[in-house]
Amino acid sequence: MTNEKQILFSGMQATGSLTLGNYLGALKNWVNLADEYECYYSVVDMHSITIRQDPAVLRKRARALLTLYIAAGIDPEKNCIYYQSHVSGHAELAWILNCFTYMGELSRMTQFKDKSAKHTDNINAGLFTYPVLMAADILLYQANVVPVGIDQMQHLEITRDIAQRFNSIYGDVFTIPEAYIGKVGAKIMSLQDPARKMSKSDENPNASIYLMDDPDSIRRKCKRAVTDSEGVILYRDEQPGVKNLLDIYSACTGKSVDESVKEFDGCGYGQLKEAVGEAVVSVLQPLQTRFKELEKDKAYIDGIIRANAEKAAYTANKTLRKVQKKVGFPERIR
């Protein structure tokens, strides 16, 4: 890592099985950007407990997610891959930022509205202040850029608002981060209801392609994808199912949407679905193979976890100490 590079931060929750949406909207861009930036990729396990979790399952999923980051092609020697809960600065900064965030702002967050409607028996304060912890994640590392899918844009905007508010009182403490949204794949929709985003928590297993799905399931899910009765392959809002398939195809093959539309000119939906299935398989199969190899190497993964937690904590503490001083906490006596 050199100091000349700009800083990139992003994270994912270890809740549920990761979907193709997570991969195409975020993880794939992380890999592409890794060389250009000094990168911090966190497994945000603290965010996960805003919804009730089975502790053993969460632990297992968090480790699998960290391994998956590496399997996807992020070099853990050059990039900092770590668990959020291993760096206490996240919680400490989140507390301070809570005092610079308004209830009104948080009440407008669509994710809070959706999740509280879904988990009516557990509308906890953590769910409400979730975006503040996310702001702390990003601001602790003075990130310039945050690659995410479109669904996280609102959280990025509140992060910028909080940072600007803090800076306007205390001077230039935080870098104001920019979202990085990929050209294709930033919002992959459900295969069964293309009006909704593909989500880890969807109850219908045919709605999502999971990163660990076997090739036959992937092909079958693509074949069953909901389309329409128009019978033409065009990229337009009136055909959300076809549009989504073209997005997936383009993101998996690296072709532009225009190129993909031309390629399928005159084809039927069956051909499109088959090609999408093959494109997804060819992206996910190498990732799965690498994941299975890495998973076995316990000592290697443990080493990464240990070294990177230290590296992340070092950077995080620098920002935290600065912030603590600014707000007036007494200096530590050594």
Q: Which residues bind ligand TYM (CB under 6 A)?
A: 9-13, 21-22, 25-26, 44, 47, 134, 137-138, 146, 148-149, 151-152, 155, 186-188, 197-198
Element (H, E) at 277: helix 269-296
Q: Is 36 exposed, middle or buried (0-12, 13-18, 19+ CB in 10 A)?
A: exposed
Smallest separation, CB 198 to ligand TYM (Å)? 4
Smallest separation, CB 147 to ligand TYM (Å)? 7
Residues in the chain: 334
Q: In the annotation, is 183 catalytic? A: no
Smallest separation, CB 330 to ligand TYM (Å)? 30
Q: Pick the closest to residue 288 from 26, 61, 68 (CA basis).
A: 68
| Chain residue at closest Cβ approach to ligand TYM | 25
Nearer to ligand TYM among residue 42 and residue 227 (C-beta)? 42
Nearer to ligand TYM among residue 199 and residue 227 (C-beta)? 199
Q: In the annotation, is 326 catalytic? A: no
- Angstrom distance (rounded) from CA 182 to CA 9: 15
Q: In the annotation, is 115 catalytic? A: yes
Which candidate in 115, 187, 221, 243 is catalytic? 115
Backbone dihedral angles phi then psi of residue 43, each to the nearest 5 degrees: -95, 105
Smallest separation, CB 25 to ligand TYM (Å)? 2
Calculate the alpha carbon distances from 188 to 7, 19, 135 in Å: 26, 10, 24
Cβ–Cβ < 8 Å for 62, 28: no
Cβ–Cβ < 8 Å for 185, 248: yes
Nearer to ligand TYM among residue 20 and residue 275 (C-beta)? 20
Nearer to ligand TYM among residue 76 and residue 177 (C-beta)? 177
Which residues are catalytic, by number? 115, 197, 200
